[in-house]
Amino acid sequence: MASLLALSILCTQPNSHHSLAWPSSSQRAHNHRRLTSFLSVASETESIQRLLIQQQNQNRISLDPSLDQLPEPLIEALIKFTTTSSSSASSTYVTTESLESTKTPKLLPIQQKSYTIISKGGDAVLFSPTGTGKSLGFILPLAARIIEWQQDGSFLYRKEAQKQRFIRQSRNNNGNDSISSSSSRVDAATPSILIIEPSRELARQVGKVFEKFHPTTSSTTGAKGSSSSSSKRQVVTVYGGVPMTRHAALLGSKTNVVVGTPGRIRELIRENYLSTKHIRSIVLDEADNLLNFGDNPEVEWLLDGMTNDYQLILASATINTRVEKFVSEVMELEVGEEGYLVVHGKEDMYNDHGGGVTIDGDDTTIDGKIEQTSDDDMERQVESSGKHASNQRETPTVRHWSMPSSPASRVTLTSDLIITLTPRRGIVFVPTKAEVESVAQELSEKLSANDVSVHILHGDMAQQARSRTISAFRDDSARITTRILIATDVAARGLDLPAIDLVLQYGVPRKTGKDGTYDSELYIHRTGRAGRFGNTRSADAIVLYDRTQGETTTLNKLEKEMKDLHSIEIMPRQLPSPCEVMDASYERVMRLCTDFGTGTPSLVCYFAGKLSDEIKANGGETTTASSSDKEMFIIHRLATAMASLSGLDDIVPPRSLLTADPGDRTIRVWSDLCDANNPLSPSDITKLVKSLGSGKLGRISTCEDGSVVFDLCSRKAELLLESAANDTNLVESGWHFEIPFTLPTLTLT
């Protein structure tokens, strides 16, 4: 599909506005040479080249109007970005099916809305859900501004600064002792664009993407972002966790874009490695986070210290009171004005069978097919408009659930959910950094099978460790089928991780340091990691809440706000029962055996031969050994191997089916007279059960079949069942008591 874009561009008039009229034969010959040259750079296969040329000659391709506003260098950069993977410049994601479409990709709504305003220097506020292309929404128009500044001479001061530096260096090299030591220090970098990100990972991701669209980025920059002292980078990314001198060495007179975290930017300014006197555009990405000046005083310090006029751009997935107040009072923008840009939901992205380019993850999706890129890149998704898009481009479903669980049983429940739901990648959000370590260790022990990997991420980790974690989490090794990330809220924003189909939250998300509160914005950001555009399967977002700590009331308030304001319904979900966990473990091991056997038949044959030899050695050829004995021997060996593969230490023990508490048992009570239309009354059951000596009961829940369930400690549960069985009148009246293996469906209350 990206090569379609290349072809459509090269088939149009070579000017900055790209007329949709078809070129003359001489122009087409010139464009044919340009196309061949570009395909050589992109290392397209010969078959795709021939098909592209055939499409060109048949005059079947037109340029989408949404790209008509971009200058030619940006469109060519867009082609390279969408046709070349980060792992290899020769990689391409063009399929034969995509080449049959007669339309090219187009910018997504937030990108279309923002381009003209930002490229003309106007302030803008970009409100759009996660995964809808906000990053390119400000990168493309800012790159267009750089092109304009290059053409109108706005960067002449840089040449003068380079000239003065050269003169000073020449004097120093000639041994002029009259030059003071301060004059030999490199001048502060004076970028034109400053992009502030809340996390190191997001800063690195946005910085790498901007490099691909910057019109004059040095081609000598290394893959890891290094650069020689004689070749300062045009786009520099700075963040904490690494020595400041490393970033200072990258900054220079040629630097005109700086992407970074607030703390490191402030350090560089204070040490005179970075100057804001020529800043013309500032971007606050994840503005709902950065505008919390209590947590980010550096942002307030930076904005207060600006002495020159500048363009201000905010980008955020959520709108809170803090952002609304800032936009209204500082930026003086109101809802409905030109710079106030809103995309309400992902469904708005494709309301006309449209498509576009998003940079919010780690998969490349072409016509519904997933291609994994390397761990250093963000997600690049290219949508086709036409028949393929209308049939295949649907946003993945995210199912929102709540489950009661005590803190002591959460890790066990997490293990059971991973086994029963079999996610490819999941994130578990825990409240503190200490819990990250402890939960990861305990979960690793419970999921000791070699097809599950557990990783950690929190703010105290060194940058190299964080990078290794993200790289391992994104890895697609064939033996690892499930990757789980245990993290604090550092993973809730900015990180673009591929194919997340499970998000677990330990406790109702709450405002910092305030018990009894809930934070709907944090819930949105956490669950926004799941079901991102490009995922090919539905996802589950589950919040585990503690009834004993009063979280039921808090959860109810969160559920109401999410439903009323965001049309997100958080539904109660039953906990996986021990039987379901064991059955899922069996299915998982069978799947592992099947996958392993199909890939390595020679190794399987070796072990089959050894097993056959062992049967013979144990009397398998004698007449006294019956066929049933042989069968039992083989079954026992196979069962032992499967149990070893499961990673379980023992069968899942009995526990509460309502809270997963191992010390409790769930009791189910029903009568011959109850049914869905005539359910049992919790108050009547309380009187009945207490008359049998149960003592204090937990919460009583009604099932759809009319029965009720509740928890008792294991000893009292056994005594209750014994008392009920010995009560002749109770039995003759049609009452039944049991400890069920699985729960009936509970009614919603």
- Across 20-34, 498-512, 520-534, the highest mean pLDDT is recorded for 498-512
633 and 565 share one domain: no
| HSE of 71, CA atoms in CB hemisphere, 13 A | 16
| Residue 728 located in a structural domain | yes
623 and 675 share one domain: no
190 and 90 share one domain: no
Residue that wins the pLDDT comparison between 101 and 278: 278
| Residue 642 located in a structural domain | yes
Q: What is the CATH number of the domain that holds 440?
A: 3.40.50.300
Residue that wins the pLDDT comparison between 654 and 383: 654
- Residues making up the chain, counted from first to last: 749
For 280-307, the pLDDT digits (tens) are 999 999 998 899 888 889 999 999 999 8
| Residue 657 located in a structural domain | no
What is the dihedral angle through the alpha carbons of 9, 15, 16, 17, rounded to the nearest 10 degrees? -70
| Residue 382 located in a structural domain | no
Spatial distance between the Cα atoms of 428 and 467, rounded to a whole number of angstroms? 18
pLDDT at 454: 93
pLDDT at 475: 80
Domains held by the chain: number: 5
Concatenated DSSP letters of 288-316? HHHT-TTT-HHHHHHHHT--S--EEEEEE
Spatial distance between the Cα atoms of 544 and 410, rounded to a whole number of angstroms? 8
pLDDT at 508: 94
pLDDT at 649: 74
Q: Which of 78, 104, 130 is the last residue of a domain?
A: 104
523 and 615 share one domain: no
| Residue 440 located in a structural domain | yes
| Residue 333 located in a structural domain | yes
pLDDT at 548: 79
pLDDT at 697: 81
122 and 24 share one domain: no
Which pLDDT band, with edges at 50, 70 and 90, does 254 fall under? confident
Q: Which of 539, 558, 574 is the last residue of a domain?
A: 574
For 164-181, the pLDDT digits (tens) are 666 656 666 665 554 444
Which pLDDT band, with edges at 50, 70 and 90, does 486 fall under? very high
Tell me which residue range forms the domain holding 623.
Answer: 579-646
| Residue 359 located in a structural domain | no
Does the pLDDT at position 252 exceed 60? yes
54 and 135 share one domain: no
* Range from 153-167, 431-445, 664-678, 685-699 carrying the lowest mean pLDDT: 153-167
516 and 635 share one domain: no
Spatial distance between the Cα atoms of 706 and 48, rounded to a whole number of angstroms? 63
pLDDT at 491: 79
Q: At what angle do helices 200-213 and 134-152 cross, to 10 degrees?
A: 50
323 and 439 share one domain: no
Spatial distance between the Cα atoms of 583 and 574, rounded to a whole number of angstroms? 16
217 and 325 share one domain: yes
Does the pLDDT at position 498 exceed 80? no
pLDDT at 513: 64
- Averaged pLDDT of the chain: 76
Residue that wins the pLDDT comparison between 131 and 150: 150
73 and 6 share one domain: yes
443 and 555 share one domain: yes
Structure tokens at 48: 């795709």
Does the pLDDT at position 677 exceed 80? yes
| Residue 546 located in a structural domain | yes
Structure tokens at 332: 């003086």
Q: Which of 65, 83, 104 is the last residue of a domain?
A: 104
| Mean pLDDT (whole number) for 634-655 | 81
For 710-725, the pLDDT digits (tens) are 999 999 999 999 999 9
483: β partners: 425, 453
Residues 6+ apart with CB under 8 A from 632: none
| Mean pLDDT (whole number) for 651-679 | 90
Does the pLDDT at position 103 exceed 60? no
Structure tokens at 559: 């559920």
Residue that wins the pLDDT comparison between 44 and 649: 649
pLDDT at 593: 81
For 211-234, the pLDDT digits (tens) are 989 987 534 333 344 433 333 478
129 and 278 share one domain: yes
486: β partners: 428, 456
- Quote the percentage of the chain above a pLDDT of 90: 32
Which pLDDT band, with edges at 50, 70 and 90, does 588 fall under? confident
Does the pLDDT at position 372 exceed 70? no
Report the greatest alpha carbon distance in the chain.
Answer: 111
